[in-house]
Structure 1
Amino acid sequence: MARRDAAGRRNAVGRRNAVGRRAVAAALGVLLLLAGCTSGDSDVSPTPPPPTGAPLPDLPPYPADTHPFGAHWDWNRYDEFLPYLRKLSGSATYHEISWCSIEPVAGRPDWTALDRIAQRSQDLGIALNIKIRTEMCWATGGTPEFPRGEANKTESTMPLDMAAYQRFVGEVVRRYAPYGVRQYAIENEVNAQQYWRGTPEEYVTLVTAAAEAVHAADPDAVVVDSGISSVAYGFGVVDRLVRAGRDDEAIAAYNAYFQRRIGTRGRKIPQVETIETLRTALDNETNVRNVAFLAATEQLIDDGVVQLRQVHYYEHFEGVPALLDYLAAENPADVPIEAWEVGQFWRDGDGDDISRAEEVVKVSTMLLAGGIRQVMWLPLGYNPNNRAGSEVRYGLLEPDGTEREAGRMFEGLAIAARGATVTPVRRDGLIGVAFQQGAESTLVVWSSEFNDELRVAPVPSLRTGAAGATLTPAGAEVTISDRPILLRATGTPESILADVD
């Protein structure tokens, strides 16, 4: 009941406050295309209301040397990753800091490590975003319950002195503005107890105070939410559908979204075949918390305290349409979305290197086509000494920095997107995204599972091949299957796809 009350209050009050500043968008039709459908019924359920805002489906051109495909990496392996990082110049990344780690003793901050990261990011031409956490120490009081890793990171909680916290936040912003840092996330995945000890209400209080400090230090800076976890977004997706009475859609979305998670967390993510089982999962204490913190985050967005939504997504590509549908309904159209953590969660995954790389392409381009303006893959290269003892999240590189096929394909996306205008592909039976750079366009496309192979008639100058490979001239029609392929030619995306059957 607490879950439904919290979400209901936000939908009743927050949506009324936000609706006046939302533009009616056509992105829901785009989402249906992304799902492989050519038509579909609109949401006519009274609760929640039909989507009145959506991630913008068409993005303005990126500046000449920038693109939306970035990554997150372990700075301790900077030298091993450096050759590949140079290929991502023009993208963005983030780095997480904490008040307790920067200032382990009151009044004696040590900025050395962060200064080096900021300088190296600037030298690489990669925009740095900063996540600011408190963790637990003299500044917060309390005893940590969830210490993690060799660095002994802890969960965060409320500062003892809010004015002192605001001074710290302001100092971070003033110190790193000269390095080009403009986006500051407050905390990380607060829905998870190992990251945030406080309540949703306390998190709202913290972000509000941090936002005041950020804008006082740099009026042009952007405040970002904590980035609700990928799992929590999944429960937000199905909770919305269940509350709307769309039971069959909720079950289908759950099974598509969590297909690689089912059974990995016991009763938290169970096998679901009936609406009763799904409701039981939603009422699990952890999942109630997930939805409550998602609601608190969206209230901060609706109230303008947060100016950019941060999405985390580690699921199968078949879950992307449900996520985009949720964002179309819940995110104000004038609030941009960036995916700071995108990855491939697959415990004991058995896919070969090519199939896993092609999934990297599908997930990344589907998110971008849905209006998410920045996609950062995590991890760039996995840590073989992680707690799971296996590669649960798939890296673009080997631990020593050697490029995998996924790394080559991701680089191919970055090259195609550099300085381009991004648009979703709007053709029946095709899924993908288009990048237009001046007179030339590059399309990343594949056929949906609901369609047979498609054929594209050759146009002058058409070249084709896999992402990351050398494109070759297409002398005859090009066959498009369920494997992503690049099409590049002079002309608009529409002209390249003028003859598809």
Structure 2
Amino acid sequence: MSRRLRTVRARAAAALVAGVAVVGLVGCTAPTSGDQSVDTGTAATSTGPAWGTSGPSGSTTGATGQATPMGAKWDWGRFTEFGPFLKSVSGGTTYYEVVWCDVEKKQGSPDWSSLDRIATRSREIGTTLMLKLRVGRCWATSGDAQYQRGSKAKTESAMPTDLGAYKAWVQAAVTRYSKLGVHEYAIENEINSASFWAGTPQQFETLARAASGEIRASDPEAKVVDAGLSSTSYGYGIADWLLKQGRDADALSAWNAYFERRIGTRGNQIVAVHTRADLETALKSEQGVRNLVYLDLMRQLAASKVTDVRQIHFYEKYSAVPTLFAYLKSHTPYGTPIQAWEVGSFDKSGATTDDATKSEEVLKTMSLVLAEGATVAVWLPLAFDPGGRNGDEPRYGLLEPDGQVRQAGRIFQAMVEASRGAKVVKISVAGMTGVGFDRGGTATAFVWSDGHAVVQLPDGGKAASVESLDKPTAGATTTLGATPQRLTLPVPTATFLKEQR
């Protein structure tokens, strides 16, 4: 074993032990249940986002004057094609990654013009913009870039050589864009990957504390958001969490289920596990240790109030969402909002090929992420890019490349409309799963069943398959299966659910 790897592993062990001590002393996580199931969702509903109290600061309202917790991420180079759809889902959120080394290519000569246009256009279409503040690698850091990504050749970030200059850049960015309605700022992005962060955990903590202070000083309304680790990192965290509880079988099952669509797609990077030894080998790998260190660092930063918001990225199969949130709620200080800045469906396994099933998975994923407590959920990508790295579209979009709305986009529009100004209600009862949106004494629910469930509808209630949303039918009951249905209810979700038990 190399000296470098032994050092990384030692730091990981120290960080995780420290994390346990913090939880024990501070008591900042919610009480744990005696239930030993991986999915901590109960048979009844849980209303409202238990781990968060609100959406993004200064949320922009849509054409109806009401905000939605849903949003999308798009290629600004195709903004004209996407404009009509974006206006139809106004009131939500998006994010943009701004890199110091790109804004200020020459020291002392920043160029904010591109970001100015993006911030202005976001406001014009009724979308709240959030920013990821990244350093990049250039004159402001030491060393040369080791990674380049995409057509814009974005590099990893490194620790600035002059922390004062970095703080001045953060201050300038927040002062400028708070005036254009931006009030949430994430510090870096997916730092558990070496292709995004070249520094150490200790350096990132120093960077985060410096940025956090400048953000709050520059905008009293601002919320500081953590780095948002990669979707795959949580599979490691979940398995490690269960293993430490002595729940070996659950840990193995959770790993294989979470990575159902990743196993075998990256060579030997992510493999199926069959024994505790297999799983320990994966967790003790260099990437595994790095993931666990940064997962714990995100918890520590929230516990010490350096960050205000826990940011997650999720691209796995929708069925992994409840397990993910069970893990998050045991590793996030109670009351800390959880926001899903990146939600999507990554599938190179070839298991799901038809558009109807992919469209239904968009609904199921967004429904579960919101139902489990995320106060923001941003779908990525808005549209497939045929000129991108992957011509087989492993990440499914809501629109065709030319902006034509897919069935997934129409479903997304229906969910946005239902969620505007509504209270989110988790639905998990009598074989029925989904989310309810309560507003003004009525509700709209999006539900399905992994088996077969007969649902009682209240007088005046209507049901429509997501395959034919324009054809709702009234009746005393509706039968649920794998294809989701939209229920239009004349009563709140809780009242409707009482009739199902």
User: Fold-level match, TM-score > 0.5?
Assistant: yes
Q: 1:351 to 1:10 in 2, by over 3 A?
A: farther
Residues 61-140 of structure 1: pairs in structure 2 closer than 5 A: 65-140=66-141
- Name the structure 2 match of 1:171: 172
In 2, the alpha carbon distance for the partners of 1:27 and 1:98 equals 45
Q: Give a deviation string over 1:148-194, Cα, whole Å, max 9, x none.
A: 22222111000111011000001100001111111000111001111
- Name the structure 2 match of 1:259: 260
In 2, the alpha carbon distance for the partners of 1:380 and 1:145 equals 29
1:30 Cα deviation after fit? 11
1:404 to 393, 396, 406: 406
Q: Give a deviation string over 1:278-308, Cα, whole Å, max 9, x none.
A: 1111111111111111111211111110100
Correspondence 1:56 to 2:50 = yes
- Name the structure 2 match of 1:482: 482
- Name the structure 2 match of 1:460: 459
Query: Is the contact made by 2:12 and 2:290 (CA closer than 8 Å) also made in structure 1?
Result: no
In 2, the alpha carbon distance for the partners of 1:25 and 1:66 equals 33
Task: Give secondary structure in 2 for the equivalent of 1:287.
Answer: helix
In 2, the alpha carbon distance for the partners of 1:29 and 1:478 equals 33
Q: Give a deviation string over 1:218-269, Cα, whole Å, max 9, x none.
A: 1221110110000011111111111221111101111110000001223321
1:100 Cα deviation after fit? 0.5
1:426 Cα deviation after fit? 4.4
Q: 1:28 to 1:210 in 2, by over 3 A?
A: farther
Bigger Cα displacement from structure 2, 23-32 vs 434-443: 23-32
- Name the structure 2 match of 1:281: 282
Q: 1:275 to 1:320 in 2, by over 3 A?
A: same
Residues 349-428 of structure 1: pairs in structure 2 closer than 5 A: 349=350, 350-428=352-430
1:415 Cα deviation after fit? 0.7
Q: 1:325 to 1:241 in 2, by over 3 A?
A: same
Q: Give a deviation string over 1:104-135, Cα, whole Å, max 9, x none.
A: 00111111100000000011111000000000
Q: 1:348 to 1:404 in 2, by over 3 A?
A: farther
Query: TM-score, normalization: structure 2?
Result: 0.91
In 2, the alpha carbon distance for the partners of 1:17 and 1:382 equals 48
Query: Is the contact made by 2:29 and 2:329 (CA closer than 8 Å) also made in structure 1?
Result: no
Percentage of matched positions with identical amino acids: 41
Query: Is the contact made by 1:267 and 1:281 (CA closer than 8 Å) also made in structure 2?
Result: no
Correspondence 1:14 to 2:22 = yes
1:3 Cα deviation after fit? 6.8
1:32 Cα deviation after fit? 3.8
1:469 Cα deviation after fit? 1.6
- Name the structure 1 match of 2:437: 435
Match of 1:298, as an amino acid?
Answer: R
Q: 1:58 to 1:165 in 2, by over 3 A?
A: closer
1:401 Cα deviation after fit? 1.0
Residues 172-251 of structure 1: pairs in structure 2 closer than 5 A: 172-251=173-252
In 1, the alpha carbon distance for the partners of 2:278 and 2:314 equals 24
- Name the structure 1 match of 2:5: none
In 2, the alpha carbon distance for the partners of 1:131 and 1:270 equals 31
Q: 1:393 to 1:483 in 2, by over 3 A?
A: same
Correspondence 1:493 to 2:493 = yes
Q: 1:131 to 1:57 in 2, by over 3 A?
A: closer
1:377 Cα deviation after fit? 0.4
In 2, the alpha carbon distance for the partners of 1:211 and 1:28 equals 37
Count how many residue pairs are aligned between Structure 1 and Structure 2: 481
Query: Is the contact made by 1:454 and 1:479 (CA closer than 8 Å) also made in structure 2?
Result: yes
Match of 2:475, as an amino acid?
Answer: G
1:23 Cα deviation after fit? 4.9
In 2, the alpha carbon distance for the partners of 1:488 and 1:373 equals 23
1:4 Cα deviation after fit? 5.4
In 1, the alpha carbon distance for the partners of 2:40 and 2:278 equals 30
1:345 Cα deviation after fit? 0.5
Bigger Cα displacement from structure 2, 161-170 vs 487-496: 487-496
**Which blocks of at least 5 consecutive residues in structure 1 are unaligned?**
40-53
Query: Is the contact made by 1:17 and 1:302 (CA closer than 8 Å) also made in structure 2?
Result: no
In 2, the alpha carbon distance for the partners of 1:402 and 1:92 equals 21
**Which blocks of at least 5 consecutive residues in structure 2 are unaligned?**
1-8
Query: Is the contact made by 1:140 and 1:158 (CA closer than 8 Å) also made in structure 2?
Result: yes
Q: 1:146 to 1:134 in 2, by over 3 A?
A: same
> Cα RMSD over matched residues?
2.4
Residues 267-306 of structure 1: pairs in structure 2 closer than 5 A: 267-306=268-307
1:446 to 448, 469, 479: 448
1:33 Cα deviation after fit? 6.9
Bigger Cα displacement from structure 2, 98-107 vs 284-293: 284-293
Match of 2:356, as an amino acid?
Answer: I
Match of 2:131, as an amino acid?
Answer: I
Match of 2:417, as an amino acid?
Answer: I
In 2, the alpha carbon distance for the partners of 1:165 and 1:218 equals 17
Bigger Cα displacement from structure 2, 466-475 vs 335-344: 466-475
In 2, the alpha carbon distance for the partners of 1:257 and 1:426 equals 20
In 2, the alpha carbon distance for the partners of 1:217 and 1:365 equals 35
In 2, the alpha carbon distance for the partners of 1:128 and 1:363 equals 22
In 1, the alpha carbon distance for the partners of 2:452 and 2:418 equals 24
1:10 Cα deviation after fit? 3.3
Q: 1:196 to 1:389 in 2, by over 3 A?
A: same
Q: 1:66 to 1:26 in 2, by over 3 A?
A: farther
Query: Is the contact made by 1:262 and 1:271 (CA closer than 8 Å) also made in structure 2?
Result: yes
Query: Is the contact made by 1:58 and 1:423 (CA closer than 8 Å) also made in structure 2?
Result: no
Q: 1:243 to 1:437 in 2, by over 3 A?
A: same
